[in-house]
Amino acid sequence: MALHYSPVLWNRQKRLYDLTMAGLMALYLIIFCTLQTSLFPPITTETIVIRATSTLAFLMLHVILVIGPLCRLDNRFLPLLYNRRHLGVSMFIVAAVHSVFSVLQFHTRGDVDPLVSLFTSERQYGSFGQFPFQPLGFFALLILFVMAATSHDFWLKNLSPRVWKTLHMSVYLAYALIVMHVALGILQQETSPVYAGLMGVGVLTVSGLHVMAAFIGNRRELHPNAPATDGFVAVCDVNDIADNRAKTLMVNGQNIALFKYDGKLSAVSNLCRHQNGPLGEGKIIDGCITCPWHGYQYLPENGQSPPPFTEKIETYAVRCVGTTVWVNPQPYPPGTPQTPALLKVTTINDEN
């Protein structure tokens, strides 16, 4: 939410985040390389680099993938999510070092071009157990590259949040490719059960946390299924919503955040214009809906970011009849002002 362009809007929390991340990465590499040369002196430098960077990148990818569901399960982990893109770009750089060294080591100075060699040296594409594992790593790196290259808000704005988010969801495809890359590659040689066990724990942790977060998120979300009256659907009792907080609804495929504040009710899209963050898990601060992910703000009455910012989200009509809240799930164009429903006893006839 920048008024003036700056490549990275640094602040204290981002600096702390990056310093901690860099420190942990350096700690891992120093310990791995030192121990590797001490315990296995015959090893070559190239193999140390390939193994140190591959294991570090895979570890970082697991951390990246568990941050999202952890925050959905307990929002006290939100500071981990705030600067996650720096973690992602760093992970890509580490993975790229692994890839460059692997291609140099295994595919250069041969009778064909290194990229041709990558895809043609092993040809058993019809076999599951013998499937060439290196092309899997190549495609995973390609996905990670596209994600790292488009991680900046410049691309988010130009691609649109929906496209950007869809693109970045391909991290799960990259993860699946990397798991297969590891399982069909190094695990065929390093047969210690600890290796297979660690990867199993990693896959189970990532998938388990995602399933749990989806289940709990679904339980928190309202799914009103009463018939519509005059286009409005009864969604909840007004007392179910805390002051300055929201309930999230899924009605007719619309993901809606219903906020209660200052004796009023307003409904807007639950998806932040920035990274599709869950606005319904945010809070009204200084009169603005504030996204829990990166602090983007919108006025609840019209879904517009306060000037001079220009982000806008869809708005919905809301009514309060007695203590029952009614929402019309037909979205209005982003930034369309809506009269907030007042918290007083009224009837639909009164409003008409």
Partner 1 sequence: MKTDHTGEPPDFYIGWQEKAPPTYARPVRWVVLLLVVLVPAMACLLVWQQRGFSDAVFEYGQLTMLEGQLIREPVPFLRVPVKNSPPDAPLFERILLIGYGKHGAEATIRQWEARYGSLHNKKIGVRGTLIYHEGHAALELTEEASACRTVAPLPPSLAIPTTQSLGEVTLQGEITDPKCFLGVMKPGDGRPHRACAVRCIAGGIPPLLWVRNGKGRENGYVLVGPNGERINDQILKAVGQNVRVRGRLGQADNWLILYVDAPTELTRLRADVLAQIALCQ
The footprint of partner 1 on residues 253-282 (CB under 8 A) is 282
| Terminal-residue alpha carbon distance, the chain | 39
CB of 61 to partner 1, least distance (A): 13
Question: Does position 100 bind partner 1 by CB under 8 A?
Answer: no
Question: Does position 117 bind partner 1 by CB under 8 A?
Answer: yes
Asked if residue 153 lies in contact with residue 141, where contact means CB atoms within 8 angstroms, the answer is: no
Find residue 264's DSSP bridge partners. 261, 342
Choice from 3, 6, 7, 12 touching partner 1 (CB under 8 A): 12
Closest CA to 24 of 70, 81, 91: 91
Q: Which is nearer to partner 1, 121 or 346 (CB)?
A: 121
Choice from 22, 79, 215, 324 touching partner 1 (CB under 8 A): 79
In whole angstroms, what is the distance from residue 319 CA to residue 232 CA? 8
Q: Which is nearer to partner 1, 83 or 255 (CB)?
A: 83
Enter the tokens of residue 185. Answer: 């590659």
Q: Which is nearer to partner 1, 99 or 338 (CB)?
A: 99
**Taking CB under 8 A as the criterion, which residues in 181-240 touch partner 1?**
184-186, 188-192, 194-195, 198
**Taking CB under 8 A as the criterion, which residues in 36-65 touch partner 1?**
36, 39-40, 42-44, 46-47, 51, 55, 59, 63
Part in contact with partner 1 (CB under 8 A); list of ranges 7-15, 227-235, 300-308, 338-346: 7-15
**Taking CB under 8 A as the criterion, which residues in 126-155 touch partner 1?**
129-130, 132-134
**Taking CB under 8 A as the criterion, which residues in 274-333 touch partner 1?**
282-283, 285, 290, 292-295
CB of 64 to partner 1, least distance (A): 13
Part in contact with partner 1 (CB under 8 A); list of ranges 72-80, 93-101, 152-160, 301-309: 72-80
In whole angstroms, what is the distance from residue 49 CA to residue 95 CA? 11
Part in contact with partner 1 (CB under 8 A); list of ranges 104-112, 207-215, 305-313, 329-337: 104-112
Part in contact with partner 1 (CB under 8 A); list of ranges 33-41, 154-162, 321-329, 337-345: 33-41
Q: Which is nearer to partner 1, 70 or 271 (CB)?
A: 70
Q: Which is nearer to partner 1, 112 or 163 (CB)?
A: 112
CB of 337 to partner 1, least distance (A): 25
Q: Which is nearer to partner 1, 98 or 168 (CB)?
A: 98
Part in contact with partner 1 (CB under 8 A); list of ranges 88-96, 102-110, 147-155, 300-308: 102-110
Q: How many residues does the chain have?
A: 352
Q: How many residues in the shown chain lie near partner 1 by CB under 8 A?
A: 73
